[in-house]
Amino acid sequence: MAFGLVAALAGCDAGSTAPSSPPPTPSPPAPIFASDEEALAAAEAAYAAYAAVDAAILADGGKGSDRIKDHVSATYEPTVLKAYAQIAEGGLVVRGEGSVEGARLIEANREVVQIYACLDVGGTVVLNAEGVDVTPPERPLRTPVRLRFVPDGDRLLLDGSEKWDGDDFC
C-alpha cells in the first residue's frame, strides 16, 4: 500500500512500471593460455630459461646474480639473490645443471601458473674454493617441488619454488 501511495504522489503509475533490467554482466577476461597444455609448456619453458641462467650464476660462484632478474618476479628476486650471496660468501661453485621432470599443472589463470615437478640435481656437484667436492652425500637427487609463475607480458617469471610436502611423486 505504501508503494502505491509513494508512486501516486510521485506521478508514477504503480501498475504500469516496466521492470528495470540489471546491467549486463561483464564476461570474464580471456585466459592467458588457450589450454592447460599450453600453460604447462610455457611454465616448463620459463623454468628451463631460469635454470640455464641459474646454472651459469652458480658456476660463477654466485657472481653476476643480476642476470637472473629477467627470469624471476620482483617478489621472488630478493630470495634468489640472497641464495646467490650465500654461495659467494661460502666460496662455493656449483657445476652442472638441475632439471625438472614429470611436470604437471596445478592451476593456470590470469594471475598465476603453478606446476608440480621433480627437481633432479643428480648432475650437479658443489665445489669449495679449493675445487674439492663438498656436495652433501645425503642430498636427495630428486625432490618434489611446486613451482609458481606469474605472467609478465607474454612470458612467465618464476615467482617461487618450494619443496612439496605431500606424497613424494618423484
Residue-range domains of the chain with CATH: 33-163 (3.10.450.50)
Query: pTM of the prediction?
Result: 0.79
pLDDT band at 97 (very low <50, low <70, confident <90, very high): confident
Per-residue pLDDT tens over the stretch 110-166: 999 999 999 999 999 999 999 999 999 999 999 999 999 999 988 999 999 999 988
Whole-number Å distance between alpha carbons of 84 and 48: 18
> Is the per-residue pLDDT at 55 higher than 70?
yes
pLDDT band at 89 (very low <50, low <70, confident <90, very high): very high
Average pLDDT over residues 66-87: 97
Per-residue pLDDT tens over the stretch 3-25: 232 222 223 344 444 444 555 65
Cell numbers found for residue 30: 580471456
Q: Which residues pair with 133 in a beta bridge?
A: 127
Q: List C-alpha distances in Å: 123 to 24, 42, 95, 133, 141.
A: 57, 24, 8, 13, 9
pLDDT over 90 percentage in the chain:
73
